[in-house]
Amino acid sequence: ELMESNFSVIAETYSSTICKMRQHAKNIKCPDILWRQIEIGGTLNGVCTAKVSEAEVMVEGGIRDVLITSEIVGEDKQRRLAYLAKRADVKVCIDNKTNLNSLSLIAQEIGSEIGVLIEVDTSMGRAGIRSPEQGVELAKLAESLASIKFLGVMSHQTVDGFTDKETRFIEGKRYIDKCLEVKTAIEDYGIEVTIVSSGETFSYDVAPQIEGVTEVEGGTYALMSGPAKYMEEFSLAGKVLTTVIDVTETEIVIDAGLRCLGGPLGVTPTVEGQDELTFIEMHDSYSVLSVKEENIFRIGQTLFICTSQQDILVNRWDNFIGVRDGVVEAVWDISARGCHH
């Protein structure tokens, strides 16, 4: 129920907007669940992925509109991308001429057309162009190359820590405006920009109100995670069921560790409804938690673990177990897990 409630928030938010959600598959990794958001509404009937291998799984799962939000470098990956573009509407982001020229040559050889969006670095300090002038030069090159279709611009941004709605709106607009500056510069040169893909979970309700944004790349909202819990309209839907396997006077041991949970950047998980429990050790297959007050926990007791990062968590499991009213309703394959080559 919680996941569908999150999907319904998106459907309602985007019900009458020009801008639509393009759900990010990098943390969900399951076409069945992505289709559920498409069915409930608010999307453009497409998704985005971080990798070619994830995009392949989405297309196999029947999704025909995929945006790859990372630059694809290397002949082997670019060939897979070009072949995939013959089967579906597959787009990819670029931020340099070398990559763009390489994509064009391979797509020509294979006989496909690849749509491209220019990535703009608005705040992350990683991939992406840094100025409108760079964007114009890349757009000009894309327009001139065979087997390349220039579509628009994209960006991804983030805010640190827990924040309020006012801060989200101020910071979200400030970052997204940087992406729109590149759009304007390209259009002023005379090149059409049809897609502005920007925004994410923290700005899901900001981006639709900014003129010019056509789609939002949200992913975290579907299952949620600890760092995003300040967004109270969404519920934590992705949890791990664990069992207490040992009890001492001040500690308990559970059968869930780093292999199935993860603790990125030293941020440990929490236990649902159990504020008196704190993770103190995480090992491969088990974890040790301290108990603040009297230890009333017992061997065999089950607990729900709430992760601090859904992407890493989901990538360690084979299936989602869908539960409604305490009864298992569905089992979904996480078919894009482990897409590492």
Average pLDDT, the chain: 94
pTM for the full predicted model: 0.93
Q: Are residues 69 and 216 in the same domain?
A: yes
Q: How confident is the model at residue 161, as a pLDDT?
A: 61
> pLDDT of 175-209, one tens digit each?
999 999 999 999 999 999 999 999 899 899 999 99
Pair (91, 194) in one structural domain = yes
Q: What CATH number corresponds to the domain at position 278?
A: 2.40.37.20
* Residue for token pair 């289709």: 35
Predicted pLDDT of residue 312: 84
Average pLDDT over residues 39-43: 97
User: How far is residue 298's CA from residue 130's CA, in Å, rounded to a whole number?
Assistant: 56
Q: Which domain holds residue 144?
A: 2-224
34 domain residue, yes or no: yes
Give the model confidence (pLDDT) of 112-170 as tens digits.
Answer: 999 999 999 998 888 999 999 999 999 999 999 999 999 999 999 877 665 788 888 89
Question: Which of 172, 191, 224 is a domain's end point?
Answer: 224
Strands of 205-265 (E only): list them.
215-216, 239-247, 251-254
Domain identity same for 196 and 246: no
Residues above pLDDT 90, as percent of the chain: 81
What gap in Å lies between CA 330 and CA 33, rounded to an integer? 11
Task: Kindly state whether residues 173 and 245 are assigned to the same domain.
Answer: no
Tokens 């040559």 identify what position?
A: 105
Overall domain count for the chain:
2
Interval 268-291 mean pLDDT: 94
Name the residue among 255, 251, 240 with its Cα closest to residue 300. Answer: 255
Q: What is the mean pLDDT of residues 78-101?
A: 98
Strands 239-247 and 302-306, bridge-based pairing: antiparallel
Q: How far apart are the C-alpha atoms of 10 and 21, rounded to whole Å?
A: 8
Q: Percentage of the chain with pLDDT > 70?
A: 97
